[in-house]
Amino acid sequence: MLLLNKILVLGIGNYLMGDEGVGVHAALQLQNENLSSDIDIVDGGTGGFHLLEYFEKYKTIILIDATLDNNPNGTIRLIKPRFAQDFPTAMSTHDIGLKDMVSALQLMDKMPVIHLFVVSIESLQQQGIELTDEIAKAIPLLIKKIKYLIAELKEQKLEKEILAWAV
Amino acid sequence: MSTRIVVDPITRIEGHLRVEVDIENGKITDAYSSGTMVRLLEEILKGRDPKDAWAFVGRVCGVCTSIHSLTSVRAVEDALDITIPPNAEMVRNIMFCAQYLHDHVVHFYHLHAMDWVDVVNALKADPKKTSELAQSISKWPKSSPGYFSDIQTRIKKFVDSGQLGIFANGYWGHPAYKLPAEVNLIGLAHYLEALEWQKEIVKIHAIFGGKNPHPNYLVGGMACAISIDDVSGINAERLAYVGQLLQQGKEFVEQVYIPDLMAIASFYKDWGAIGGGLGNYMAYGDLPTNGYRDTASYKFPGGAILNKDISKVYDVDLRKDEEVQEFVSHSWYEYKEGKDKGLHPWKGESKVKYTGPKPPFEHLDTSKDYSYLKTPRWKGNAMEVGPLARMLVGYARGREDFKAVVDKALTDLAIPVTALFSTLGRTAARGLESVLVAQWGLEFFDQLITNIKNGDNRMAEMGKFNPSTWPKIAKGVGHSEAPRGALAHWINIEDEKIANYQLVVPTTWNASPRDNKGQLSAYESSLLGTPVADEKQPLEIIRTIHSFDPCMACSVHIYDEEGKHISRISILGD
């Protein structure tokens, strides 16, 4: 079933590897934010191919993940990848699976629109479920940015509907 | 003069595995397998509530997420002497079967098939001939000339766009590809179909486990309420959906996976004599039908086979101090009592001591420590675990269901039973056990329905949920057959908390470095003698290593400092 009118927020990462799991931490916190019913939030963990179903079901996806890109710790960037190659080279430990899945979607002509929030982290050496202070402090801003993007996407959709109705 | 080549990473999708081999006169003379990532789960678990361990271990990897959770709850139940209700056993078994079908099909089509199927060559196939061939090997409905010609158009568009993506790392056109263009096209078409199919079967995990990935487990049973006419829980409608998914899974295995496997295997029979390696096989057994402790009730029997001698199967006891031991003689760890001692996992230690070169490096000093994997041994023997070990143990134990599927495949391919001890045997065994698992999944489903209809809705035994009922000290072992092979977790509980937790995972058995006596483990051993036609394109190495279905995410417990994922094959003169 296609969920055309819904937006999926999907946090991915390894919850056991400290800052690497920032995507999952953000998704879990968003679940407590009482977002409207047309926003689905999923903790995608290290799901890889298991996540294909979500990528097929939704036309608009907000993806959250960690990246090792030499930017200052906690930098938040929003990118719109169209191909697997557009993803940052050093994403979290599940990156190969995720990129392969994106290639597969392209091959099947089922690529949704992906808005990717990446949070720069310093190291993948860290173990444990706790975030470092700098990354934990970045989460409120990340959540604000996600909510802002959701509002923007909804407004665009509304504009399109009004235009379609006017015609 | 030999040449050393390095393949890193060797896995197509998940993992961080590096293989270094020495080649002399076109053949591999020595091999070293190294895990280059560490993830110290053991340390994360210490001091936590044993009832929560399943949630942490389920996060270890995105591929076999639920099997670690299952193994963990079994370890705690074993330690606290909890017997789960029959419904929970059936639900766990059904989830196990769903995971197998998902994992094996994804491995075959998305991680391994491209080692045998030449994607670019498939563009040369005649769709009409492909259709005739497909219809002669299977009654699977999607087999018209138009269907295959559409697939070709899609792939051509993809290839022409320059976005090779998922197919970017193939050695297309390599002389070791032997399939006619039409078989390549069938393989490619089913690669795409399998991609669609795999997302259906895992819904079973979401139904019983509440979510997917990383479904929920519970010490004492399962966390789902079941009742035929419950509106919100697992009711007749949702159960019927599970039955339908299992039925579709069985059809996909029988009508797509197996016919493709047999068609492809018939062109690669020479691989029935390559990649055998150790000849020692071990399974712990799984799929209990009368409780975890009644090992005779297991659908997958346990046991060990030594030196390819299938006339004898030895029992394996995971509780005995001298049976399963882990060594760190060539691993980046240290033990309190020295590098050469073997430790039973109940006494296991996980203290990392990296002594390898600072990355990035050209090659490892394999005379010293060279891996983040420890080296497990059974009674001092290096053992291979996985689908081939399971099928051989079942076969050697004289189990009729195992004999039927194995003998049929041997007859159809006209190969002797000895051809099983090989790369081909490993890849075939994965398909053959999928046939069994697909059948068993439906049996478990029927049994679950019968139980519920008879009025038994119990899903968990919660008598020992409160830690005040526990002994002060307890220890347990949870074992399972993960899709990649024998998996066990050993737990020590003290004062209601986890005092020690050790995981010995299948890829550690297979991909570990040498032991204190210099004995090779399964990967290293399987590569010896393998011909390599082109050192710049070591397809042969990849075929054999992929036949084990390597998964490094859980076997090594962080990245190298660079966190690099660049596909690299470097050739060094030695």
Please give the ipTM for the structure prediction.
0.74
Q: Are B99 and B428 in contact (CB under 8 A)?
A: no
d(CA B563, CA A12): 18
A contact set with B (CB within 8 A) = 14-17, 43-53, 56, 68, 83-85, 89-90, 93-97, 99-100, 102-104, 106-109, 124-129
Quote the minimal CA–CA distance from B293 to chain A in Å: 31
Domains annotated for chain A, with CATH where assigned, are 3-166 (3.40.50.1450)
Q: What percent of chain B has pLDDT over 70?
A: 91
Distance from CA of B559 to the nearest CA of A (A): 6
Q: What is the pLDDT at residue B259?
A: 98
CA A56 to chain centre: 15
pLDDT number for residue A126: 62
| Domain residue extents for chain B | 3-573
Q: Is residue B63 over pLDDT 80? A: no
Tell me: pLDDT of A85 over 70: no
Residues B350-365, mean pLDDT to the nearest whole number: 80
Residue A95 has pLDDT above 50, yes or no: no
Instruction: Determine the Cα–Cα distance for residues B142 and B153; give it in Å rounded to an integer.
Output: 16
Q: A48: nearest CA in chain B?
A: B62
Q: Do the Cβ atoms of B285 and B298 come closer than 8 Å?
A: yes
| Cα-based distances in Å from A36 to A1, A39, A102, A149 | 20, 6, 28, 14
Domain formed by B3-573, architecture: Orthogonal Bundle (1.10)
Going by pLDDT thresholds of 50, 70 and 90, the confidence category of residue B537 is confident
Residue B308 has pLDDT above 70, yes or no: yes
Indicate the SS3 state at residue A102.
Answer: helix
- Between A and B, how many CB-CB pairs are < 8 A? 123
Extract the tokens encoding B158.
């993809």
Chain A neighbors of B202, CB-CB under 8 A: 50, 53
- Tell me what pLDDT residue B557 has: 25
Q: Worst-scoring range by mean pLDDT, A89-98, B29-38, B425-434, B481-490? A: A89-98
Of B59, B195, B565, the CB nearest to A104: B195
Report the gap between the CA of A68 and the closest CA in chain B (Å). Answer: 8
Paired tokens of B539: 């397809």
Q: Which residues of chain A have a CB within 8 Å of the CB of B12?
A: 100
Q: Considering chain A, what is the average pLDDT of its residues?
A: 83
pLDDT number for residue B437: 98
Angle between helices B387-396 and B423-453 (to 10 degrees): 70
Which residues of chain A have a CB within 8 Å of the CB of B112? none
For residue B561, the chain A residues in CB contact (below 8 A) are 125
Note the pTM of the prediction, 2 decimals: 0.89
Cα–Cα distance, B453 to B203 (Å, whole number): 23
Residue A93's pLDDT band (cuts 50, 70, 90): very low
The conformation of residue B225, written as its DSSP 8-state character, comes to -
Residues of A in contact with B567 (CB under 8 A): none
Give the pairing type, strands A58-67 and A113-120. Answer: parallel
* pLDDT tens digit sequence for B220-275: 999 988 877 777 778 889 999 999 999 999 999 999 999 999 999 999 999 999 99
Helix (H, G, I), strand (E, B) or coil at B186: helix
Q: How does pLDDT run across B459-501, given as a tens digit for each residue?
A: 999 999 999 999 999 999 999 999 999 999 999 999 999 999 9
Q: Could you tell me the sign of the dihedral formed by the alpha carbons of B387, B114, B257, B135, in that order?
A: negative
- Residues of B engaging A, defined by a Cβ cutoff of 8 Å: 9, 11-15, 37, 39-41, 43-44, 56, 59-63, 65, 106, 110, 154-155, 158, 163, 165-166, 192, 195-196, 198-199, 202-203, 211-214, 553, 558-559, 561, 563-565
Q: Do A16 and B60 touch (CB under 8 A)?
A: yes
At B325 the pLDDT is 97
**β-pair type (A58-67, A3-12):** parallel
The pLDDT of residue A82 is: 73
Cis peptide preceding B213, ω within 30 of 0: yes
Using CA atoms, how far residue B94 sits from B57, B63, B172, B254, B290, in Å, is 20, 17, 39, 18, 15
Q: What angle do CA B402, B404, B410 make, to 5 degrees?
A: 100
Return phi, psi of residue B303, to 5°: 150, 175
A45: left (phi over 0), alpha (psi -120 to 50) or beta: left
pLDDT value at residue B555: 38
SS3 track for B389-446: HHHHHHHHCCCHHHHHHHHHHHHHHCCCHHHHCCHHHHHHHHHHHHHHHHHHHHHHHH
Share of chain B above pLDDT 90, in %: 70
Interface test with A, best of B12, B13, B68, B159 (most A CBs within 10 A): B13
More confident residue, B58 or A146: A146
- Residue B378: helix, strand or coil by DSSP? strand
The Cα–Cα gap between B252 and B109 comes to: 12
- Rounded to whole angstroms, the Cα distance separating B378 from B316 reads 8
Q: What average pLDDT score do residues B359-384 get?
A: 89
Mean pLDDT of B269-293: 97
Highest mean pLDDT among A110-114, A118-122, B320-324: B320-324
Dihedral pair phi/psi, residue A117, rounded to 5°: -90, 120
- For residue B106, list chain A residues with Cβ-Cβ distance below 8 A: 49
Mean pLDDT score across all residues of chain B? 89
Instruction: Identify the closest residue of chain B to A83 by CA–CA distance.
Output: B163
Kindly indicate the confidence band of residue B68, based on its pLDDT and cuts at 50, 70 and 90.
very high
What pLDDT, on the 0 to 100 scale, is given for residue A158?
76
| Residue B532 and residue B171 in contact, taking contact as beta carbons nearer than 8 Å | no
Instruction: Determine the Cα–Cα distance for residues B148 and B157; give it in Å rounded to an integer.
Output: 14
